[in-house]
Chains A and B, each alone.
Chain A
């Protein structure tokens, strides 16, 4: 149900980015890049709020005419950005949260892989399969 999934490292470079319509990939890359500013804004806003602890799920970052962009940040400042189709109105907040939780679990598994160097691009097939399963459900 996601159209594009991206994992951004804490230094703001992409560790993993994949989108379904293979043409026009650049548009999604650009969308993810611009969403990073919104993510930073949300993180600093939460830091100043009087809430005791901050949530990891950031919610809707910004909507465009065709797509909606959601964000999630981990404790290690790794950001997950997901772009979904606006026409897919059946998608609810809970579903997006569970998709992010799955992403977080898979990302932690990738980190625990001794053959993976933190900071490299993610090339794990298991991670790829999990992202494919999230994208394929739209058809």
Chain B
């Protein structure tokens, strides 16, 4: 099915384009690219946060929203559910995906671990944007220990 890989190809090109050697390398170059990717993901997340829950009934609490993220959102974007969700019930959630779609074609193991963060920036923004639309201010960071598994940590600052 070609449509499942279309987004992966687009994403690879986005990262490659933003990481292309800058003719005038400033000191904040790399960081701006990460921010650009995250903000792109944020805007996409905002629209997904409107469109995907359209047919479902209202969310009652934070856990409902997180469940929506792990199931509906992840399935819509990556065609699989999140593998595990852990929480400390005080606003921090850890979402784990053992075979993150965007990292699968790269490697399986420890090779390229340093390059992995830039491929996660868009997805972090995506989660942040969706949460923002659904009413939660949050901070999302991602870790990769061994490709293609990745973990996203999310701190909830406050619900508004």
Contacts and interface: CB of A to CB of B under 8 A. Distances in A.
A53 interface: yes
Q: Is the interface of B mostly helix, strand, loop or mixed?
A: helix
Contacts, number: 52
Closest 5 A/B residue pairs (Cβ): A54-B58, A53-B57, A75-B53, A111-B50, A112-B47
Contacts of B64: 53
Interface in B58-106: 58-60, 64
Given A77-B135, A118-B46, A54 B57 contact: yes
Counting chain A residues whose Cβ lies within 8 A of the other chain, the interface size class is 20 to 34
B4 interface: no
A114 B46 CA distance: 11
A56 B60 contact: no
A16 to B, nearest CB: 15
A46 B60 CA distance: 9
A75 B46 contact: no
Interface residues of B, number: 18
Interface of B: 43, 46-47, 49-51, 53-54, 56-60, 64, 133-135, 160
A73 B50 contact: no
B134 A76 contact: yes
Interface of A: 10, 46-47, 52-56, 73-77, 104-105, 107-108, 111-112, 114, 118
